[in-house]
Amino acid sequence: MQDAKRRVSNCFVALDDAGAIAGYFTLAASGIPVDELSDATKKRLPRYPLLPACLIGRLAVDRRFRGLGLGGALLMEAAIRASRAEPAVLAMIVDAKDEKAAAFYEHHGFSRFASRPKSLYLPLATALKAKG
């Protein structure tokens, strides 16, 4: 709430039928250094040193709801919200807290930064293509 008031990040929650929090994620404007992108992605982009990105600061699903597809749905919701921002956003980025979290993001198509393997990115165009 405090971060939202200060315009530092916004938090979005998924509620169960009783109104309890089943999962949540935070979103904030950020940037990705062009040198962290894969060669294939870089080839299609202008050589600006920093490209616009949206940071998923935290994302988690309550234990009772894990393994049901909610984590994937929250990621898709984040992509849709980022794509609706009026300033352009090229990609979502995350700093995974551990290797298990990094594997979750890779499973969803994220690629690792060239220099920091626990930071990952997913171009919004790719995320939204998966939605169909």
Ligand X SMILES: CC(C)(COP(=O)(O)OP(=O)(O)OC[C@H]1O[C@@H](n2cnc3c(N)ncnc32)[C@H](O)[C@@H]1OP(=O)(O)O)[C@@H](O)C(=O)NCCC(=O)NCCS
Which residues would be at the binding site for ligand X (CB under 6 A)?
Answer: 59-61, 66-72, 96-97, 100-101, 103-104, 107
The C-alpha atoms of residue 46 and residue 93 are separated, in whole angstroms, by 19
Question: Do 121 and 96 form a contact (C-beta atoms < 8 A)?
Answer: no
Q: How far is the CB of 60 from ligand X (least distance, A)?
A: 4
Query: Residue 19: which residues within 8 A CB-CB, separation 6 or more?
Result: none
Q: How far is the CB of 98 from ligand X (least distance, A)?
A: 7
Tell me whether residue 34 or residue 70 sits nearer to ligand X (CB atom): 70
Q: How far is the CB of 6 from ligand X (least distance, A)?
A: 22
Tell me whether residue 11 or residue 45 sits nearer to ligand X (CB atom): 11
Question: Do 52 and 89 form a contact (C-beta atoms < 8 A)?
Answer: yes
Amino acid letter for position 106: E
